[in-house]
Amino acid sequence: MNFALETVFINKYVVSNKCQRYLSFIEKPKRRGEFLNMLYHGQDFEYSKLRRANAFYKEDILKQVARLSKAPNCYIISVDKKLDGKEMSVAMALDQIGPYAEGIVLIFGECDIVYYCGEPPHNEWLSL
């Protein structure tokens, strides 16, 4: 796990009155599930910093990320234990998550760009 990057993500994209709570979740591995549950259900996000990305396909996300970030890799926070805490190329990450991903955040750079896909339907978001 990349505690420093997850801390930046929480401080930037979780509503301020819940940040400390979520930071405590990632500090203790036994409580990580509570953080991932929030992620899946989309609770406590600062949605004013995100925009809907419902119509995006993998290629569109890659183009958007390349244009805005120039980050070759991304960090994954996911309810899928096989992906959670991994860093991989953008193309590989998008192949791994597939078209029906849920409860996942792709973090590009130092949280420069964030792609979030939560509980369906229509719950895909991209940072502004």
Q: Of 44-58, 59-73, 90-104, which gets the smallest average pLDDT?
A: 59-73
Q: How many domains does the chain have?
A: 1
Secondary structure (3-state) at 126? strand
pLDDT tens digit sequence for 4-58: 999 999 999 999 999 999 999 999 989 999 999 988 898 899 999 998 886 556 6
User: How much of the chain exceeds pLDDT 90, in percent?
Assistant: 51
Rounding to the nearest 10 degrees, give the CA dihedral for residues 66, 89, 61, 51.
-90
Residue 79 is predicted with a pLDDT of 93
- Residue 48 DSSP code: G
Whole-structure pTM value: 0.89
Q: What is the mean pLDDT of residues 49-74?
A: 76
Query: Which of the pair, 49 or 120, is modelled with greater confidence?
Result: 49
Could you give the CA distance from residue 72 to residue 25 in angstroms, rounded to a whole number? 29
Helices and strands: H and E segment counts in the chain:
5, 6
Domain that holds residue 18: 3-127
